Structure 1
Amino acid sequence: MSAGPEADAACGAHADHLCMPTEARKRAMRRLSIARGHLDSIVRMLEKDDVYCVDVLRQIKAVQGALSGAGDVVLRGHLETHVATAHERGDTTEIVEELMEALRYR
């Protein structure tokens, strides 16, 4: 069950199952790095006695946005690589169930 050469390269020895596309992984990691930076900034802010609540809330919103963006990237990669090719692999029913599960996390 392969999802194409990009996924095969990313899967390596695990080519018997579907893996996240390399480009989607890279984009998600970039967004999560941004979220980590914002989160670290919030922790540093809270260590100061003169922290302003609205500034903290603004940074929390930035973390939520970065996490949401990472989720969008992962979901899009899944849709493009696995869901769109499910019929070719003959696992349409399994992919539909998996997609319903994935949407519960959104």
Structure 2
Amino acid sequence: MNSPHAPDGEGTHPHLCMPEDARKRASRRLAIARGHLESIVRMLDDPHVYCVDVLRQIKAVQGALSGAGEVVLRGHLEAHVATAHERGDTTEIVEELMEALKYT
């Protein structure tokens, strides 16, 4: 999905990028989610796996994904939404965010 803020120059604001701190923190959380997900896949290869153990791991993945989403959202709010008025693109930024949040 292309963003109007994509760094490829096709968007209306190619200079808007994810803050480095948010990228690093989200990446760490996603690495945790990946580890839990890989654990679930291994667990499901075991015919003796207990359902509740799988459910716990699934909840852990969901929590890590949710945490990553919160990090990205906070970074976007602080770096782009809070400064949209100065750039003159408040409506675009709000509409873009509302569209993205439809899927959460």
Normalising by structure 2, we get a TM-score of 0.84
**Quick check: 80-89 or 93-102, which moved more?**
93-102
Instruction: Look up the match of 1:68.
Output: 66
**Hey, what's the Cα distance between the residues in 1 that align with 2:28 and 2:45?**
26
Deviations 1:51-90 (A, max 9, x none): 0000000000000000000000010000000000001111
Instruction: Tell me the SS of whatever aligns to 2:75.
Output: helix
Larger RCO, structure (CA 8 Å, separation 6 or more) = 1
Deviation at 1:99, TM superposition (A): 1.7
Q: Which consecutive unaligned segments of at least 5 residues does structure 2 have?
A: 1-6
Aligned to 2:22: 24
Task: Name the residue aligned to 2:56.
Answer: 58
Structure 1 spans left out of the alignment, 5+ residues: 1-10
Identity of aligned residues (%): 81
Structure 1 residue 101 and structure 2 residue 64: aligned? no
Letter matched to residue 84 of structure 1: A
Deviation at 1:96, TM superposition (A): 1.3
Number of the residue aligned with 1:46: 44
How far is 1:98 from its partner? Answer: 1.1
1:104, CA displacement in angstroms? 1.2
User: Which protein has the bigger helix share?
Assistant: 1
Q: Stretches of 4+ moved more than 6 A in 1?
A: none
Q: CA deviation at 1:17?
A: 3.0
Q: Give SS of 1:105's match.
A: coil
Alpha-carbon separation, structure 2, partners of 1:44 and 1:96: 41
